[in-house]
Amino acid sequence: MTPPVPPHILVVGAAYSGLYAVLNLLNICDGKPHFPSVMNLSPIRKPDVPPQITIVDERDGIFHTMGTPLVHVENKVTESAWIRYSDIPALKRANVHILQGRVVEIDPLRKCAFWRSSAASENDPDRVLQYDYLIAATGLQRDWPILPRCFTRQQYILDAKEHIAKLKATRNHPIVVIGGGAVGTEFAAEIKHHYPDHRVILIHSRASLLSNEPLPEEFKEKALATLKAEGVEVMLETRVMNETTQTAPDGESQEIRLKLSNGDEIIAGHTIWATSRHLPRTEFLPPESLNEEGYVKVLPSLQFAATIPNNHVHFAVGDIAAWSGIKRVGRALSMGQCAAVNILKLITADVTPVVKQSNSSNSSSSSREGEAGDIDGPELQVYPYVPPMIALALGSTAVTYHPDMGVSGGEEAYKTSFGTDLGLSIR
């Protein structure tokens, strides 16, 4: 008798959301209960045949994004920020395959992905991966030093330590951070906290910090007051119009001349730009699966909307999914768990789901997926509406906002949200 063919799950991108989806899949397949969850999850039957899981990622490991900017400011913790996939015990099993490279295109009708290995030359043809289920979790494109620009742990550590050395060596002129969003404010605070003798300036073009986030003014004002109390100089309603680098009078070091919109000039020793728009990495997906900003249109089950063939076996999670809420680690993890749960429900179902119609809006309903997306088959997990919430790490303190608890801050808020090291010790 021919043994049954195991279903193949392809995971594109294995940062928080993609990796957590894999870990949840493996946990259930081992006969264990769900990981703790913000969702009310019902028990799932263990698949008769464990699925084959393939991860495709450009990096050789997971980078702990929540540890930024700490790991790019203090080199004592830098090496903790990147864990190679080959060093994660849970992934060391015969049915998990890890490929370093990038997916360049998917064909949802044929359920195949074209991918390019990191070791491939320009003339090598793309390789093909057939799949039964796909989880897209490629996240956002962010510039260095917000996210690594290297694809291996060894190269990253060298790059990060070189950046930290430049920060330490900047003494004659201020370190200037351009952009007062969440990343810019955290960078400015972290630098001032670790190098209190350095002059740190934060420049932001709007009248308040975190101006693009749907957060109360009380939170933004508290973030500004906290930064100033830490010793960061904040310039609001000011733009950097031009940046030029020149040799300093000593003939050895470099000076950076910044021309500002108010007519002033600043001579900086080092600049960090945190103004670039974070674009979703969805160029490999069919255009009809994306909204006007490039995010994936999803059902409340996190399945693709019915604008592509076989949408019921395609899932988008994490920062690339068009969903409510500020993009945060907690949101990414729970999305990965939701997709894992629903794939296992589809695998263990007695009938094949058939999509009859779809709704790509951000539903806040807690009803069954059949009602949200009208899909015949198993009752799928609905991902809930996520209200705006945030925890901002500012040196040794934090400013937080939750709609049920309001604005708070201080060292206890930091410990509650990040532990003692921005969550680097959480494994």
Which letter does DSSP use for residue 361 in this model?
Answer: S
| Mean pLDDT lowest among 10-24, 36-50, 189-203 | 36-50
| Residue 4: Cβ within 10 Å count | 8
C-alpha 135/C-alpha 11 separation (Å) is: 5
What number is the average pLDDT over the span 355-369? Answer: 36
Q: How many CB atoms lie within 10 A of CB 325?
A: 17
CA angle centred on 43, ends 40 and 44, rounded to 5°: 125
pLDDT reported for residue 242: 95
Is residue 3 pLDDT above 80, yes or no?
A: no
Does the domain made of 8-143+278-351 have the CATH classification 3.10.20.30? no
Q: Which two tokens stand for residue 26?
A: 């493996």
Q: What is the mean pLDDT of residues 396-405?
A: 93
* Model pLDDT, residue 376: 60
**3-state SS assignment for residue 120:** coil
CA-based angle 298:299:300, to the nearest 5?
120
- What is the reported pLDDT for 421? 65
The predicted model gives 392-413 an average pLDDT of 92
| Predicted local confidence at residue 354, as pLDDT | 44
Mean pLDDT of 244-264: 84
What percent of the chain is modeled with pLDDT above 70? Answer: 90
Q: Which two tokens stand for residue 381?
A: 């997990």
Provide mean pLDDT across the span 238-262.
86
From the list 302, 307, 296, 316, the residue with the least C-alpha distance to 10 is 316
Lowest mean pLDDT among 27-36, 47-56, 227-236, 362-371: 362-371
pLDDT band per the 50, 70, 90 thresholds, residue 366: very low
Tell me the average pLDDT of the chain.
Answer: 90
Read off the tokens for 220.
Answer: 């933004």
Q: Write the CB contacts of 390 (distance below 8 Å, at least 6 apart in sequence).
A: 182, 213, 215, 219, 326, 328, 400, 401
Average pLDDT over every residue of 31-59: 93
| CB neighbourhood size of 371 (10 A) | 14
Query: In the chain, which residues fall in CATH 3.50.50.60?
Result: 8-143+278-351, 173-275
For residue 166, report the phi and psi dihedrals to the nearest 5 degrees: -65, -40
Q: Identify the pLDDT of residue 312.
A: 95
Q: Are strands 390-394 and 397-402 parallel, antiparallel or unpaired?
A: antiparallel
**DSSP string for residues in 226-283:** HHHHHT-EEE-S--EEEEEEEE-TTSSSEEEEEEETTS-EEEESEEEE--S--EE--T
Give the single-character DSSP code of 199. -
Q: Which amino acid is at 73?
A: V
- Is residue 403 helix, strand or coil? coil
CA dist 129 and 114 (Å) reads 6
Q: Is residue 373's pLDDT more than 70? A: no
Mean local confidence (pLDDT), 49-59 = 97
Sorting pLDDT into bands at 50, 70 and 90, what band is 349?
A: confident
Check if the beta carbon of residue 372 is closer than 8 Å to that of residue 300.
Answer: yes
Mean pLDDT of all residues in 316-333: 95
Does residue 204 register a pLDDT over 90?
A: yes
Q: Closest by alpha carbon to 303, among 53, 135, 140, 138?
A: 135
pLDDT tens column, 86-128: 999 999 999 999 999 999 999 999 999 999 999 888 888 899 9
The CATH classification number of 173-275 equals 3.50.50.60
Check pLDDT > 90 for residue 310. Answer: yes
**Which residues is 407 bridged to in the sheet?**
401
Alpha carbon separation from 38 to 35, 144, 332, 383, 401 (Å, rounded): 10, 32, 12, 10, 18
- Whether residue 419 has pLDDT greater than 80: no
Position 377 scores a pLDDT of 73
CA terminus-to-terminus distance, the chain: 43
